Amino acid sequence: MKGDNEHRSIRKQRGRWAARAIFFCLSIVAAGFINLQIFSTDLYTLRSSENRLRTITVPAPRGTIYDRHGRAIADNVPGYDVSMLPGPRDSISAGLDRLADRLELSPERRTALLSRNRDRPGEALVVRENANFEQVAFIEERRPRFRRVVVDQRPHRRYPAGPAIAHMIGYVGEISQEELARPEYAGYESGQSVGKAGLEQQYEHRLAGRDGIRYAEVNALGSVVRDLGVAQAQPPVPGDDLHLGIDLDLQMYADSVFPDGMRGGVVALDPVTGEVLLLYSHPTFDPNAFIGGIPLNLWNALREHPDEPLLDRVSMASYPPGSTWKLVMSTIGMKTADLAIETYHADTCDGGLWYHTRYFRCWLSRGHGRLNLSEAIKHSCNVWFYQAGQRIGLDPLLAGVGEFGFGRATGIDLPSERSGLFPDSRQWYDDRLGRGRWTEAVVWNLSIGQGENEQTLLAMAQFYAALATGRAPVIPHLVRDEMLAQQRADWTLDLPEVQRRQLVDALARVVNEPGGTAYGNRLARWTLAGKTGTAQNPHGEPHSWFVGFAPAYDPRIVIAAVVEHGHPDGAPSLAVPLAAGIVDRHLETLGLPPEDAPGVRPAEALPPRAGG
Amino acid sequence: MIARLRIPGVGDPTLLVLVLFMTGLGIAMIYSAGLVDVPSLATGIWVRQLYWFGVAIVALAVTSRFSLRFIEWLAPWAYGISVFLLILVLFIGTGPNGSWLELGPGRLQPAEVAKLGTILMLARVLGGAPGPYERLLELWKPAVITLVPFALVLLQPDLGSAMIFGALLLAALYWSGVPLFKIFLLASPGLSLLLGFNWIAWGLGFLVVAAGLYVHRLFVLEAVGVLLANVFTGALTLRIWDSLADYQRNRLLVFLDPDIDPLGAGWHLIQSKVAIGSGGFIGAGFANGPQKRLAFLPEQHTDFIFSVVGEEFGFIGVTLFLVLFAFLLWRVLQVASSMDDRFGSLIAFCLFAVLLTHIVVNLGMAVGMMPVIGLPLPLLSYGGSFLLVLYAGFGIVQRVAWEA
């Protein structure tokens, strides 16, 4: 038995050790806290933020597009996007199932969303853009069921004039996989909106702006707890605005007067600057339908419609120019074949002309009789121009047309402009028809704007603008811009001023003198000058053309219009009143004072100009 | 001033005030732990802790009035009831681990009650039979007393609480004056259990034990027994490992590397470190801890209450709490040291050991220095049974100080 004293001394010693144990143990623990809270606090503060913050992209509002009077052609309205935060695949999948009915998610859409989530599991998944109010309310009322779902207010595109401006503006849509692979879309991410056609595509990088970042605080379940607001985020940089030369009013006017049920297009330029005043194609579509993803059935209906509503007939379609081409012939003839405004040909027009064994008709079967160039333009006599073509000859004609830029795109600021068609050499015929299997008679067809000759409205407008002003040809452009207005095409008319003026007179006679092919559509207040066209084509009734400008001697607008199959035999040509109406309305909008006596003012009556 | 308070049965008013103060802080932290942005069990639970606080104070008042001799008489009863409850809970236990007994308005954790029962029984046995502990066999009584609740708690299964009983036995033997080497021999099978993962490590341990036995010239029979026990437990290690529940195995593994399972077993450890670390020097402020608020922090009102302290009060607050805990431990140790009565002194020292083990394991776990072993933090963690048992213990300690 140990004594109490001995026991007491052992306890005393062991008590001291126990006290040291307190100090020792708590010091070790304290070291742990020092490590975490003093030395590693930055690391853990960061991890804490990563834990609880999810970045959400704040899309930049696209730049507004204004017309020449400051009216919005494309602007933004608040819309609601429904997205899901990153999370386990089954919970995303289950969430989609719960949303599918309300958000009208098709099975294909659902599959596409899941595959995007697989590709980019760390990103918020935009399930539906531009959800409507009922859909948003459905989600918000059932918040606890949709913890992973965020509803974001985002700017959405709106085109107030809708169909009237569809073809120039294009539309925006979700960026495609092919687009993502292209270098110009570097930095874009799947799910983002991007300009798909028209100006939206052409000026994508100016309009897009830069997306911002917003943080949402989430809890351990990944549900959004609160939005941290814009203060902590990187605000989006809105896109640049665009100001167009387009007159929205004129655009809507064209939409309202374009002949019902017909197809075609019309474009109007400022002949001095090249600003596009009007660009309209018919039939049209509503670009608003594309916002937030166009329903597949509507998209297919648009693509498969026989009238091709998605086709911009101004910049992407070409037509045989018909008689509007005769001014090109006149110009080349004056420059290279010594044609003059008073030139008569050997054969008079009696309704047609024999080329060896083949009879080429004039449109007027009873014939125009004896005509000079001026009258041939006024009456649009084919026989006169057959002989002009003959006189010019095939090689000079092919060379001369090429010199005027036909067959090349004009360079308008649209992404999908197509160039017209005109043979550049005899080789062209040899390649297509075979050497020796064609004759010089092709000249005759080319001379009246038929045959291997198809031109866009833009190219014709560009040529007539040069003819109307006598200046270097402008480049058509939609965006009002000093630089673009200064640009000129790489060719010139190179026609003596006197002769140019004579051609203008002739064009004025077409509209303003009795017997002219457009006399019925002369304007009461201004002198409209221009050329009608009736283009034969293999698809049906002839296309109706009009290309012209006004006022004839101080041109403010040049216009080119085509109505497909718009000139059946014995019926009026539909393009002419359309163009005339647009011109009249534009000049009125400009506030241009009416001329005292609209009509032809022959060059001979004017005092000779110095150096003219 | 506190020292001059005269309350019958209360021998250390400073300790009493300290305990009450820390419990108050604990309830404040439990209140904060409930302020989260997501529906949580912890919300409003501080009120229940407040009720338990009331009950615990009554328990303290009662036990501080019992004389030590009465408590000594009571010890077998307390121990018996504890064992009975531990057996009962194996059959009708509720809760996630089946460790609770539904008891009228509240729930009781028999494992907590058993801690006190075992303390009293150990104190009675060791206090009444002092020394000389020449033979290990003399220690069979305390060993059996501890082994019964240890095994029953392990069956629940509650590894953390079971460990506490082992610590209790070691502490009681230590304070009774048993030679350190004999304590080491007694503990050596447990050590072998740990080393059993690696045959070389186990072999080295075995040699150390054998060499010690030779130097100290123990009775042959006992020496053989110890060695056999070491072989047995060393061989058992891998079997036990295989029989462990997945979550238990993961808890031990993630302690070595939390990132092997960051969303599962490693989650607790990682999130606790993130919460404490992001608290920095001054913390996010009371009730404001974002990790806690957003429910990243699990068990924020029970086992990880101190992570809330770390996140909201920063290193300053942590230091304050560590100082309070050190003071508390020191004070209880003082009571044990100043008491001549072996029974009373042993009770105080065992309570000290329980407190120290809980605090070190819990805080070590919070900072990622220990595996995730579910031990509550004394006076701070939510949990009525533990608070009640602690207060009853503190009541007896007050009585010990009173009679000293």
Among B131, B342, B349, select the one facing A1 at the smallest CB separation: B131
pLDDT of residue A1: 40
How far does the CA of residue B348 sit from the closest CA of chain A (Å)? 12
Tokens of A555: 């041109």
A12 and chain B: CB distance < 8 Å anywhere?
yes
CB–CB of A11 and B337 under 8 A? Answer: yes
Residue A224: beta bridge partners?
A218
B42 and chain A: CB distance < 8 Å anywhere?
no
| DSSP-derived secondary structure for B112-171 | HHHHHHHHHHHHHHHHHS-----SGGGGHHHHHHHHHHHHHHHTTT-HHHHHHHHHHHHH
Q: In what order do the strands lie in the sheet with A540-550?
A: A276-282, A264-269, A557-563, A540-550, A529-537
How far does the CA of residue B93 sit from the closest CA of chain A (Å)? 30
Selected residue with higher pLDDT from A104 and A194: A194
Burial of A589 (0-12, 13-18, 19+ CB in 10 A): middle
Per-residue confidence at A387, pLDDT binned at 50, 70, 90?
very high
Average pLDDT in chain A: 88
CB–CB of B369 and A51 under 8 A? Answer: no
Tokens of A312: 């911009």
Q: Which residues contact B27 (CB under 8 A, 6 or more apart)?
A: B46, B49, B50, B53
How far does the CA of residue B34 sit from the closest CA of chain A (Å)? 15
Selected residue with higher pLDDT from B366 and A148: B366
Among A15, A23, A29, select the one facing B363 at the smallest CB separation: A29
Mean pLDDT (whole number) for A336-351: 90
Say whether pLDDT at A52 is over 80.
no
Tokens of A541: 């009734």
CB–CB of A29 and B315 under 8 A? Answer: no
Tokens of A477: 């452009």
pLDDT of residue B291: 82
Say whether pLDDT at A606 is over 60.
no
State which fold the A250-296+309-605 domain adopts.
Answer: Beta-lactamase (3.40.710)
Best residue in B288, B354, B367, B369 for a mutation probing chain A (most A CBs within 10 Å): B367
Please count the other Cβ atoms lying within 10 Å of the Cβ belonging to residue B68.
20
pLDDT of residue A229: 52
How far does the CA of residue A46 sit from the closest CA of chain B (Å)? 8
pLDDT of residue B292: 82
Look at the block and give the residue holding tokens 């014939």: A367
Per-residue confidence at A315, pLDDT binned at 50, 70, 90?
very high
B-chain residue closest to A4, CA distance? B340
Instruction: Print the SS3 string covering A500-515.
Output: HHHHHHHHHHHHHCCC
Percent of chain A with pLDDT over 90: 54
A10 and chain B: CB distance < 8 Å anywhere?
yes
Among B130, B175, B367, select the one facing A33 at the smallest CB separation: B367
Tokens of A593: 């004072």
A14 and chain B: CB distance < 8 Å anywhere?
yes
Say whether pLDDT at A612 is over 50.
no
Identify whether the C-beta of residue A476 lies closer than 8 Å to the C-beta of residue A278. Answer: no
* b/e map B41-53, b = 16+ CB within 10 Å: ebeebbeebeebb
CB–CB of A29 and B368 under 8 A? Answer: no
Least confident among A36-50, A56-70, B90-104, B355-369: B90-104
B-chain residue closest to A225, CA distance? B37
- pLDDT tens figures, A472-511: 999 999 999 888 889 999 899 889 999 999 999 999 999 9
CA B363 – CA B386 distance, rounded (Å): 17
Instruction: Write B138-141 long-range contacts (CB < 8 A, 24+).
Output: B139/B173, B139/B178, B139/B182, B139/B186
CA B303 – CA B160 distance, rounded (Å): 11
Amino acid at A9: S
CA A170 – CA A460 distance, rounded (Å): 23
Tokens of A111: 């599959």
Mean pLDDT (whole number) for B345-360: 96
**How many inter-chain contacts (A to B, CB under 8 Å) are there?**
143
CB–CB of A36 and B276 under 8 A? Answer: yes
pLDDT of residue A611: 39
Within 8 A of B273 by CB-CB distance, chain A residues are 36, 44
HSE toward the beta carbon, residue A84, CA cutoff 13 A:
27
Per-residue confidence at A57, pLDDT binned at 50, 70, 90?
confident
Identify whether the C-beta of residue A545 lies closer than 8 Å to the C-beta of residue A324. Answer: yes
Distances, alpha carbon A77 to alpha carbons A73, A286, B207, in Å:
13, 17, 82
A551 cis-preceded (ω within 30 degrees of 0): yes
Which DSSP symbol is given to A123? S
Tokens of B137: 């066999």
| DSSP-derived secondary structure for A282-301 | ES---GGGGTT---HHHHHH
CB–CB of B37 and A18 under 8 A? Answer: no
pLDDT of residue B258: 65
Selected residue with higher pLDDT from A18 and A138: A18
Least confident among A66-80, A208-222, B30-44, B131-145: A208-222
Distances, alpha carbon B107 to alpha carbons A240, B45, B157, B300, in Å:
68, 14, 18, 20
Within 8 A of A220 by CB-CB distance, chain B residues are 38, 271, 294-296
> How many residues in total does chain A contain?
612
H helical segments located in B281-383: 290-293, 305-338, 342-366
Selected residue with higher pLDDT from A438 and B330: B330
Within 8 A of A19 by CB-CB distance, chain B residues are 330, 333
Say whether pLDDT at A134 is over 90.
no
- pLDDT tens figures, B288-303: 888 887 777 778 888 8
pLDDT of residue B257: 65
Q: B363: closest CA among B327, B325, B400?
A: B325
Within 8 A of B326 by CB-CB distance, chain A residues are 22-23, 26
CB–CB of A41 and B278 under 8 A? Answer: yes
Interface list for A 203-242 with B (CB within 8 A): 217-221, 223, 225-226
B277 and chain A: CB distance < 8 Å anywhere?
yes
Q: Phi, psi at residue B147, to the nearest 5°?
A: -60, -35
Interface list for B 87-116 with A (CB within 8 A): none
B129 and chain A: CB distance < 8 Å anywhere?
no
Domain ranges of chain A: 54-78+151-243, 250-296+309-605
Instruction: Print the SS3 string covering A334-370.
Output: HHHCCCCCCCECCCCECCEEEECCEEEECCCCCCCEC
CA A477 – CA A484 distance, rounded (Å): 7
Within 8 A of B279 by CB-CB distance, chain A residues are 37, 41
A354 and chain B: CB distance < 8 Å anywhere?
no
Mean pLDDT (whole number) for B256-279: 77
Query: Alpha carbon B267 to chain centroid distance?
Result: 23
pLDDT of residue B123: 94
B-chain residue closest to A34, CA distance? B315
Within 8 A of A4 by CB-CB distance, chain B residues are 340
- pLDDT tens figures, B82-100: 999 999 998 888 877 777 8
B-chain residue closest to A46, CA distance? B278
CA A562 – CA A579 distance, rounded (Å): 9
B336 and chain A: CB distance < 8 Å anywhere?
yes
Within 8 A of B294 by CB-CB distance, chain A residues are 51-52, 217-220, 225
CB–CB of A37 and B281 under 8 A? Answer: yes
CA B283 – CA B275 distance, rounded (Å): 10
Best residue in A10, A14, A33 for a mutation probing chain B (most B CBs within 10 Å): A33
Say whether pLDDT at B197 is over 90.
no
Mean pLDDT (whole number) for A236-255: 93
CB–CB of A48 and B278 under 8 A? Answer: yes
CA A336 – CA A397 distance, rounded (Å): 9
B179 and chain A: CB distance < 8 Å anywhere?
no
Within 8 A of A38 by CB-CB distance, chain B residues are 280-281, 315
Say whether pLDDT at A83 is over 70.
yes
pLDDT of residue B155: 85
Say whether pLDDT at A548 is over 90.
yes
Grouping H, G, I as helix, E, B as strand and the rest as coil, residue A483 is helix
Which DSSP symbol is given to A316? S
CB–CB of B277 and A36 under 8 A? Answer: yes
Number of domains in chain B: 1
| DSSP-derived secondary structure for A48-101 | HHHHHEEEEEEPPPPPPEE-TTS-EEEEEEEEEEEEE-S--HHHHHHHHHHHHT
pLDDT of residue A610: 43
Domain range for B9:
2-403
How far does the CA of residue B367 sit from the closest CA of chain A (Å)? 6
Per-residue confidence at A609, pLDDT binned at 50, 70, 90?
very low
Which of the listed CATH numbers 3.40.950.10, 3.40.630.30, 3.90.1310.10, 3.40.50.9100 matches domain A54-78+151-243? 3.90.1310.10
H helical segments located in A348-450: 373-379, 382-392, 394-403, 426-433, 442-447
B274 and chain A: CB distance < 8 Å anywhere?
yes
Grouping H, G, I as helix, E, B as strand and the rest as coil, residue A242 is strand
Tokens of B301: 């009102």
A-chain residue closest to B296, CA distance? A220
CA A129 – CA A57 distance, rounded (Å): 14
B167 and chain A: CB distance < 8 Å anywhere?
no
Tokens of A220: 């351990």
Grouping H, G, I as helix, E, B as strand and the rest as coil, residue A486 is helix
Per-residue confidence at B119, pLDDT binned at 50, 70, 90?
very high
Within 8 A of A44 by CB-CB distance, chain B residues are 273-274, 276-278
Mean pLDDT (whole number) for A363-378: 92
Among A37, A51, A219, select the one facing B279 at the smallest CB separation: A37
The answer to whether the predicted template modeling score (pTM) of the entire model surpasses 0.90 is no
Say whether pLDDT at B264 is over 80.
no
- Look at the alpha carbons of B325, B327, B331, B334 in this order and tell me if their dihedral is positive or negative: positive
Q: A447: closest CA among A496, A509, A364, A390?
A: A390
Which DSSP symbol is given to A157? E
A1 and chain B: CB distance < 8 Å anywhere?
yes
